Amino acid sequence: MQMPAACAAGICIVIMMNKFFIALFFCLFNLPFATAQNKKTKPQPKVYYSIAVAYIQKNKVQVLNLRGNRLSTLSDSIGVFKQLKMLNIMKNSLTILPNTLANLSNLEELIADQNQLATLPENFGKLKRLKDLQLKKNQLNVLPKSFKKLKQLQVLELANNKFDKIDETVFELNALQRLNVSNNAIKNLPDGIGNLSQLKELHAANNKIDFISNNIGKLSKLEVLILDNNQLEEMPHELGVLTNLKILIINNNNLQGLPDVFEQLTQLESLIISSNKIKTLPPSILKLNQLKLLAFIDNPISESEINVIKSAMPQTDIRH
């Protein structure tokens, strides 16, 4: 018995529609995956390792890596790379940078660690798109006045230089989120520190700091405060308003005690106060429920108090 033509045609239509919907399903299902794959495979800019080679494509170069080339000078021609976003000149023997560096109007990241830089060009502030500046292990003791114009700078690394104070221009960098001035000869954290309202990390270990301005309490976004190996005899009470603080390291100072203001530091995870002269801990420390590490090695705290601390903070790794 033959199937009527109309019936056969109807079955064919149903089969075709089923295939269409199956294909559509797989297409829609794979769309997010394909989009994610496209994001992952987005081509990265080519890295150039020589000015001479890069010069051929000078209007397209975005990344130039001259690390460890034993350079004693940086050519004035560096200024021709108008599209440059990242420049790495670390581990050379540079004592100065050319004024033409300021022509790199699109530069976002400059890595110049481990050179012999004693100064920066006076027009350095023209690098207005700079976000990340690495100047560790140089010979700097002052910054140019134009430095304050780096309004997009978020990361400033000045560790292992010759600063005896934090340059005033730094306090005008309103976008700064990380400041590292460790291993210098800085004597204090002055009032200007309070201007850095976006600061999340302040690293100032291994200096000669004996005073911290009360304005540190204005750093409402601060998460990391590292001040070990200084000459501090006290911490300001304003420490207690740094409610986003997660890490506080103040070991190897001359602290006689700590202000009883820790109750508000509900985010604190690590508190390291070893090698001071602290005889007793403030009661508010016992209320830090998020604290994972409390280290107070080499302080004259009694054994009975240590037992009380251990009993009150069973969730905390206590080192004494």
The number of residues in the chain equals 320
pLDDT in tens, 225-278: 999 999 999 999 999 999 999 999 999 999 999 999 999 999 999 999 999 999
Torsion of the alpha carbons at 179, 182, 185 and 186, rounded to the nearest 10: 30
Residue 22 has pLDDT above 90, yes or no: no
**Does some domain include residue 148?**
no
Neighbours of 295 (CB within 10 A): 18
The per-residue pLDDT for range 150-183, each reduced to its tens digit, is 999 999 999 999 999 999 999 999 999 999 999 9
For position 43, what pLDDT does the model report?
83
**65 has which bridge partners?**
88
Least confident of 14-23, 40-49, 211-220, 223-232: 14-23
82 inside domain: no
Q: Does any domain span residue 155?
A: no
108 lies in some domain: no
pLDDT at 108 over 90: yes
Do 64 and 84 form a contact (C-beta atoms < 8 A)?
yes
pLDDT digits (tens, 9 = 90+) for 115-161: 999 999 999 999 999 999 999 999 999 999 999 999 999 999 999 99
pLDDT band at 98 (very low <50, low <70, confident <90, very high): very high
Task: Kindly report the average pLDDT of the chain as a whole number.
Answer: 90
DSSP state of 174: T
The tokens for 91 are: 């581990």
Supply the range of the domain harboring residue 199.
187-320
Q: How far is CA 157 from CA 49, 69, 140, 274, in A?
A: 24, 22, 12, 26
CATH of residue 214 = 3.80.10.10
Look at residue 7 and tell me whether its pLDDT is greater than 60. no
CB 110 within 8 A of CB 138: no
The answer to whether residue 65 sits within a structural domain is no
- The bridge status of strand 109-111 relative to strand 132-134 is parallel
For the purposes of burial, counting CB atoms within 10 Å of the CB of 8, is it exposed (0-12), middle (13-18) or buried (19 or more)? exposed
Domain membership flag for residue 110: no
Q: What secondary structure letter does DSSP report for 312? A: H
User: What single-letter DSSP state applies at residue 246?
Assistant: -
177 close to 199: Cβ distance less than 8 angstroms: yes
**pLDDT confidence tier of residue 279, bands split at 50, 70 and 90:** very high
**Cα-based angle 175, 178, 182 (whole degrees, multiple of 5):** 135
| Number of domains forming the structure of the chain | 2
The burial of 185, by beta-carbon neighbours within 10 Å (0-12 exposed, 13-18 middle, 19 or more buried), is given as middle
Identify whether 223 is part of a domain. Answer: yes
The candidate with the shortest Cα–Cα distance to 175, out of 214, 132, 136, is: 132
Asked if residues 260 and 238 have their Cβ atoms less than 8 Å apart, the reply is: no
195 lies in some domain: yes
Residue 318: pLDDT over 60: yes
Query: Helix, strand, or coil here: 253?
Result: coil
Q: How confident is the model at residue 282 (pLDDT cuts 50, 70, 90)?
A: very high
Residue 56 makes CB contacts below 8 A (sequence gap 6+) with none
